[in-house]
Amino acid sequence: MAADLSPLALLSVAEMAAADAATIATGTPGIVLMERAGKAVADAVTRRIRPGQSVLVLCGPGNNGGDGFVAGRLLAERGCRVTLALAADPTALTGDAALAAQGWTGPVAAVGEIDPARHDLVVDALFGAGLSRAISGELAALVEQVNAAGKPVVCVDVPSGVHGDTGLADGPVIRAAETVTFFRLKPGHLLQPGRSLCGVVTLADIGIRAETIFAPGRITTSTFRNAPGLWRTRWPDHDPGVHKYARGAVAVAAGGLSGVGAPRLGARAALRVGAGLATIICRPEALAAHAARGPDALMQRAAADPAAFEAMLSGGKVDALLIGPALGLDDEARSWVAAALRGGHPCVFDADALTHIGAQRPAFPDLLQQRPGPAVLTPHEGEFKRLVADAAGFDPERGKLERARRAAGLMGAVVVLKGPDTVIAAPDGRAAINNTGSSALATAGSGDVLGGIVAGLLAQKMPAFEAACAAVWLHGRAGETSGMGLIADDLPEALPGLLAEVED
């Protein structure tokens, strides 16, 4: 993996275990890593409470519990009143966790003997990121007690009950005020519901060296946190004397009179992200409506039939195509989608285009796999279900990251699986999880703008995966800077100011 991407790497549970093992193999004892992890947890707690306040430390039977024993010991040394409870038989502790437990000289309570409500803060060191079963029985009741107590909870690695690879929780789960994790984030810290359950995520340095972990022959991760460092080197860099056609021409396929606004949002977004030209290609009956709407920077052309549309794509100046927003679900719209699938232009398939692809299986997915130009699909969860239909391997319990990756490989296209935790996946296995955005983006037309941003960057010769990642990040930042009260029309206008964040 390129060294400049290592800070953005997201490690799976297995990869993090391998990172620990590689560090231990180079001479750092596991108990030293555990001491450092426990100190990071104790530091987080110390920032939240005063000496003399009461802390309940809940320890499980594994290494997470070992971190908890270290944190409990250090907090007691710092003057906190610490109650430590172990959710296991003490004789079951092994390895570094057993060594850490030996350093705790206070009493060890059973989980049935404690009341979280009687303490000022709770440390959750019950279960780590690799938990593969639902918390049940006495421990499920304990989790509910902790949540009901309303006390701040600092979790070790992930909240107990959340899986580090998926962010999913099968059963009761701790709700954290803060989660302390180590070396690199895991997908579950960014994927919902894990992201919301983690609270503030603190990434602690425990002495694992990136140059060792990401050295050739070690860990080669393909999952990243979406940020400019992931795609800035592929960002469009135009010569000062460039003309509009060199900055890329975007075509937006529109439907009839019933959906004039959506394609225009996409076209405006393409221009605002730097494309030199944007043209609406619509049905003849909608041409006057588009011309009357403005802005003057948008061009309009009418395609009398699907053959005319295909001729415009092949014979005109088109560097990227956006098709789907308000396109329609009739036979003519389906023919337009077929033409786009046969074409070689970089293409963004959204909204109605995705419905057509899903409905015309296997013919349209086969065309998608065979098309010579890059394609980006931008479904929300409902469109995604229609797109993959009854294909195997897309059960929700597999997690959003795995489903997006599988779809990208199946379709031979970059897949942007939208939501508050949007996942961008490439056919080659790379994937990124986005954490920009806000609930303000849950507004009509927001997705049309995203499609236009992707198309605008594709037209400027940005590779499909990087263009999709950049578009999702910019779209999220536009939502963050605009705040509540946002409507989709505001998003393109926010883009020019955000481009400076990328280019600085």
Residue 66 has pLDDT above 90, yes or no: yes
In sequence order, what DSSP letters do the residues of 111-169 get, joined into one string?
Answer: GGG--GGGSSEEEEES--TT--S---HHHHHHHHHHHHHT--EEEESS-TTB-TTT--B
Residues 62, 132 contacting (CB under 8 angstroms): no
Residues of the chain with CATH 3.40.50.10260: 3-221
Average pLDDT over residues 55-62: 97
- Expressed in angstroms, the distance from the first to the final Cα of the chain is 24
192-236 pLDDT per residue, tens: 999 999 999 999 999 999 998 998 888 889 999 999 999 999 999
Q: Is 448 annotated as a binding residue?
A: yes
Residue 85 has pLDDT above 60, yes or no: yes
Buried b (16+ CB within 10 A) or exposed e, 389-416: eeeeebeeeebbbbbbbbbbbbbebbbb
Average pLDDT over residues 496-502: 92
Residues of the chain with CATH 3.40.1190.20: 228-232+246-503
Q: Is 272 annotated as a binding residue?
A: no
Determine the pLDDT at residue 1.
Answer: 45
Q: Is 132 annotated as a binding residue?
A: yes
Residue 4 has pLDDT above 70, yes or no: no
Residue partners of 307: CB distance under 8 A and separation at least 6 = none
Q: Is 421 annotated as a binding residue?
A: yes
Q: Is 380 annotated as a binding residue?
A: yes
Residue partners of 216: CB distance under 8 A and separation at least 6 = none
311-350 pLDDT per residue, tens: 999 887 899 999 999 999 999 999 999 999 999 999 999 9
Residues 502, 470 contacting (CB under 8 angstroms): yes
Residue 251 has pLDDT above 60, yes or no: yes
Q: Is 447 annotated as a binding residue?
A: yes
Q: Is 418 annotated as a binding residue?
A: yes
Determine the pLDDT at residue 290.
Answer: 87
Q: Is 131 annotated as a binding residue?
A: yes
**% of the chain residues with pLDDT over 90:** 85
124-155 pLDDT per residue, tens: 999 999 998 999 999 999 999 999 999 999 99
Q: Is 422 annotated as a binding residue?
A: yes
Determine the pLDDT at residue 217.
Answer: 81
Which neighbouring-strand residues pair with 148?
none
Half-sphere exposure of 198 (CA within 13 A, CB side): 28
CATH 3.40.50.620 fits 3-221, yes or no: no
Determine the pLDDT at residue 244.
Answer: 65
Q: Is 496 annotated as a binding residue?
A: no
Q: Is 54 annotated as a binding residue?
A: no
**% of the chain residues with pLDDT over 70:** 97
Which neighbouring-strand residues pair with 425?
415, 431
Cα–Cα distance for residue pair 116/114, rounded to 1 Å: 6
Whether the bond between 295 and the residue before it is cis, its omega within 30 degrees of 0, is yes
Q: CATH topology for 228-232+246-503?
A: UDP-N-acetylmuramoyl-L-alanine:D-glutamate ligase (3.40.1190)
CA distances from 260 to 137, 288, 418 (A): 56, 10, 23
Q: Is 128 annotated as a binding residue?
A: yes
Determine the pLDDT at residue 2.
Answer: 44
Q: Is 385 annotated as a binding residue?
A: no
Tell me the pLDDT of the chain averaged across its residues. Answer: 94
Q: Is 160 annotated as a binding residue?
A: yes
Give the pLDDT band of residue 169 (cuts 50, 70, 90).
Answer: very high
Q: Is 51 annotated as a binding residue?
A: no
